């Protein structure tokens, strides 16, 4: 690169990193004059680039850059002209104003009266599933508001936020007709330009000209391990008869098999206890409460907590949690929520609470044959079969064996046809994931384990694509190794499942759209990492590999952009704001910008393959920060 190009390249990276590092500073930086000046400079630089590069001759690039300018302009209009605040209404109360964030009283276009407020709970639970308010305006219009459903009062939008103990409702009020219109125009232009971009990039590629043919082989293995011995058991016939019973757990209708499988893993970290199936273990736990209270079956991962409680080994009994005076030992050790030990105690408390609810008969509700909550027999049988064979474990074993097989072929210099092998595993992964989707009733993307499985399957499919293109065998091996690691994380996540129902704001169709787009983009962008590594260690194929990595950036960036946009639209539907500079949002934007830089023809990075490879490895750190680093920051998206 020439000197000018180097200066602009370095400046672009520094500005991008400044945006990311802002997440470490107090949030009032985003309302400061300096922050506004930074974005004015970015918008000005982009405008100059459009003019000097005569981008109107390339409609795809022109529309995409205009979309970014619209989003920046929309943000400015939002900060200058929008009105936001809180409206607190008691039953039958009529008001014509709301309170802004700075405590000012702002006028509404009409007065509104709260007719009713209702909490909708998960069936059989006291955990709220939705908040619903019904208002009437002074003009006689009815306004229905709930989580993920906006109420309209002229150009003012009303969002369900919270409630009080007096039957009142707390609403967020937002007025931003100008900024939202401009911003959404930018969203639309980005989607249009991205589709045109991908079409132009891949229409003539050989992917269109080839047909994929393969066979499906899906095998089933079930492995159980024991944890304790000499435990009270129930008759096998009784446990088997309970397996297909439907129960209400966490507001969901599930099979007794799924309920016991999840609870057994939660309590013990294992799929079985001393040879007892989950169905038999939980039935025995309920029937022989006194006997089980003296058996060490509750897993305590934290060595720090075990040492503080004088417990040897990884398992403890309920009796170990109480001293000679009957005091709860973890409660005596708790220091108010600060420190690592307190976090370990809270994890243990969750297990103890589940066990107490189980023994008190409050954890689940058996459903009768005439219950309206019953699922179909086929759905229940599919669920039972899924949890008995554990397809995720099979997928992980298949992926790790494929890595070993590929490495052996490299060591012994044998030509192995990789595509059929990986295609079989990939198809099996799709079947396993769709199967889980079917029995769950929604796209499984609400917790870390499900997301890791999704990304793992995506990377297997990308590895299959590399094998189909007859790329480097080492590259395919690295891809399958990455997928194996992610599947292992998902498998380990099964040993500590999330058993609490999802928050009302997450009960939205936006969840699956947003998360699937973002995680698919991370899969594609993350796959450029092994390609970059291979490009460094294989100089003879460096140029070809870098060219392949740059081709993957196009769909990766487009999907990430659409993921950010759908997340912004979801936030706007739920909270009345589409961007809040949350650390997750900020670093997603940083990731988008860092991976966009190599695609600018101005820098000509394809002509410097070694430098481009190193840059792609550096860019991947933003993906790590986006997904894992936010856990260290006060973020709404933290996966703690």
Distance of CA 23 to the CA centre of its chain: 20
pLDDT category of residue 417 using cuts at 50, 70 and 90: confident
pLDDT for residue 230 is more than 60: no
Instruction: Please state which of the ranges 407-416, 488-497, 535-544, 616-625 shows the lowest mean pLDDT.
Output: 407-416
Three-state DSSP class for 260?
Answer: helix
Beta pairing partners, 298 = 316
What pLDDT is recorded for position 383? 92
The structure tokens 């079956």 sit at: 297
Considering only residues 414 and 89, tell me which one the structure prediction assigns the higher pLDDT.
Answer: 89
**In terms of Cα–Cα distance, which of 534, 553, 523, 525 is closest to 613?**
534
Q: Quote the pLDDT of residue 580.
A: 82
- Which of 210-224, 243-257, 420-434: highest mean pLDDT? 420-434
Phi/psi of residue 174, each to 5°?
Answer: -135, 135
Q: What is the pLDDT of residues 85-114, one digit of tens each?
A: 999 999 999 999 999 878 899 999 999 999
In this prediction, residue 216 carries a pLDDT of: 31
**Which residues, in sequence order, are CB contacts of 546 under 8 Å at separation 6+?**
531, 532, 535, 606, 609, 612, 613
- The residue to which tokens 């209702």 are assigned: 118
- Asked if the model's pLDDT at residue 120 lies above 90, the reply is no
**pTM of the entire structure?**
0.74
pLDDT given for residue 250 in this prediction: 78
Position 474 confidence tier, pLDDT thresholds 50, 70, 90: confident
502, pLDDT greater than 90: no
Q: At what angle do helices 448-468 and 509-537 cross, to 10 degrees?
A: 50
Cβ-in-10-Å burial (0-12, 13-18, 19+) of 229 comes to: exposed
Work out the percent of the chain whose per-residue pLDDT is above 90.
24
Residues sharing a CB contact under 8 Å with residue 346, sequence separation 6 or more, in sequence order: 337
Grade residue 427 by pLDDT with cuts at 50, 70 and 90: very high
What does the pLDDT look like over 17-61, one tens digit per residue? 888 888 888 878 888 888 889 899 989 988 988 888 888 888 888
DSSP collapsed to 3 states, 71-132: HHHHHHHHHHHCEEEEEEECCCCEEEEEEECCCCEEEEEEEEEEEEEEEEECCCCCCEEEEE
pLDDT at 339: 74
Q: Write out the two tokens for 421.
A: 């092998």
pLDDT value at residue 225: 36
- pLDDT value of position 217: 29
425 has pLDDT over 90: yes
303-357, pLDDT tens digit by residue?
899 999 988 888 999 999 888 888 888 888 888 766 778 888 888 888 888 898 8
Instruction: Summarize the confidence of residues 228-256 as an average pLDDT.
Output: 75
Measured CA to CA, the distance from residue 367 to residue 372 in angstroms comes to 9
pLDDT at 385: 92
Tell me, what's the pLDDT at 501? 65
Angle between helices 473-494 and 448-468 (to 10 degrees): 160
CB 402 within 8 A of CB 421: yes
Q: Give the separation between CA 404 and CA 480, rounded to whole angstroms.
A: 10
For residue range 346-376, list pLDDT tens digits in order.
888 888 888 988 998 888 888 887 888 788 8
Looking at residue 127, its pLDDT comes to 66
Interacting residues of 633 by C-beta distance below 8 A, sequence separation 6+: 23, 24, 583
Is residue 188's pLDDT more than 90? Answer: yes
Q: Which tokens go with 413?
A: 């210099």
Instruction: Report pLDDT for 526.
Output: 86
Confidence of residue 219 (pLDDT cuts 50, 70, 90): very low
Q: Looking at residue 206, what is its pLDDT?
A: 43
pLDDT at 209 > cutoff 70? no
pLDDT at 592: 93
In angstroms, the CA 375 to CA 378 distance is 8
Residues 150-187: tens digit of each pLDDT: 888 888 999 888 888 888 999 999 998 898 899 999 99
Average pLDDT, the chain: 83
User: Measured between alpha carbons, how far is residue 249 from residues 127, 256, 476 in Å?
Assistant: 12, 9, 42
Q: How far is CA 524 from CA 159, 428, 458, in A?
A: 35, 20, 8
pLDDT of the residue at 234: 67
Choose the most confident range, by mean pLDDT, from 154-163, 423-432, 538-547. Answer: 423-432
Predicted local distance difference test score (pLDDT) of residue 252:
83
């Amino acid at each position: 690169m020439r000197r000018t190009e180097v200066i602009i390249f370095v400046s672009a990276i520094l500005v991008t990193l400044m945006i990311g590092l802002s997440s470490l500073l107090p949030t009032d930086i985003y309302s400061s004059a300096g922050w506004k000046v930074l974005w004015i400079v970015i918008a000005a630089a982009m405008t100059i680039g459009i003019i000097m590069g005569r981008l109107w001759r390339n409609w795809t690039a022109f529309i995409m850059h205009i979309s970014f300018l619209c989003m920046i302009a929309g943000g400015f209009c939002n900060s200058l002209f929008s009105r936001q605040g809180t409206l607190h209404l008691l039953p039958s109360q009529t008001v014509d104003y709301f309170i802004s964030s700075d405590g000012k009283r702002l006028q509404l276009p009409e007065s509104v009266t709260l007719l009713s407020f209702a909490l909708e709970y998960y069936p059989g639970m006291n955990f709220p599933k939705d908040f619903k308010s019904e208002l009437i305006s002074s003009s006689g219009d009815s306004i229905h508001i709930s989580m993920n459903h906006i109420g309209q009062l002229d150009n003012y939008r009303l969002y369900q936020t919270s409630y009080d103990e007096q039957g009142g409702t707390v609403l967020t009020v937002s007025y931003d007709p100008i900024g939202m219109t401009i911003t959404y125009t930018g969203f639309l232009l980005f989607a249009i330009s991205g589709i045109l971009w991908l079409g132009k990039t891949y229409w003539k590629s050989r992917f269109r000209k080839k047909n994929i043919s393969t066979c499906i082989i899906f095998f089933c293995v079930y492995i159980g391990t024991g944890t304790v011995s000499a435990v009270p058991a129930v008759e096998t016939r009784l446990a088997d008869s309970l397996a297909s019973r439907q129960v209400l757990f966490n507001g969901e209708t599930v099979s007794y098999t799924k309920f016991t499988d999840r609870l057994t893993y939660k309590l013990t970290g294992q799929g079985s206890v001393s040879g007892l199936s989950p169905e038999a273990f939980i039935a025995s736990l309920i029937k022989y409460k006194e006997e089980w209270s003296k058996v060490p079956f509750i897993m305590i991962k934290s060595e720090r907590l075990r040492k503080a409680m004088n417990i040897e080994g990884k398992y403890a009994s309920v009796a170990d949690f109480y001293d000679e005076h009957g005091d709860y030992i973890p409660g005596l050790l708790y220091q108010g929520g600060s420190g690592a030990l307190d976090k370990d105690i809270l994890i243990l408390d969750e297990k103890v609470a589940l066990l107490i609810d189980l023994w008190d008969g409050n954890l689940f509700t058996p459903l009768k044959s005439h219950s309206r909550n019953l699922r179909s027999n086929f759905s229940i049988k599919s669920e039972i079969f899924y949890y008995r064979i554990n397809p995720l474990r099979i997928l992980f074993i298949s992926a790790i064996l494929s890595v070993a097989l590929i490495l052996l072929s490299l060591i012994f210099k044998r030509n192995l046809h990789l595509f059929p092998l990986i295609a079989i595993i990939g198809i099996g992964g799709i079947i396993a994931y769709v199967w889980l989707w079917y029995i769950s009733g929604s796209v499984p993307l609400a917790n870390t384990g499900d997301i890791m499985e999704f990304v793992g399957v995506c990377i297997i499919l990308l590895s299959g694509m590399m094998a189909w293109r007859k790329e480097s065998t080492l590259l395919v091996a690295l891809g399958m190794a990455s997928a194996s690691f992610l599947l292992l994380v998902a498998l380990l996540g099964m040993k500590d499942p999330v058993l609490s129902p999802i928050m009302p704001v997450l009960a939205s169709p936006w969840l699956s759209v947003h998360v699937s787009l973002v995680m698919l983009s991370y899969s594609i962008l993350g796959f450029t990492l092994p390609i970059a590594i291979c490009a460094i260690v294989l100089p003879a194929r460096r140029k070809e590999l870098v060219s392949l990595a740059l081709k993957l950036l196009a769909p990766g960036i487009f999907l990430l952009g659409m993921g950010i946009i759908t997340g912004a639209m979801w936030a706007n539907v739920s909270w009345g704001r589409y961007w809040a500079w949350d650390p997750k949002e900020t670093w997603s934007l940083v990731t988008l910008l860092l991976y966009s830089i190599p695609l600018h023809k101005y820098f000509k990075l394809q002509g410097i393959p070694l430098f481009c490879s190193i840059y792609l490895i550096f860019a991947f750190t933003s993906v790590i920060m986006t997904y894992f680093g936010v856990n260290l920051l006060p973020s709404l998206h933290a996966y703690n």
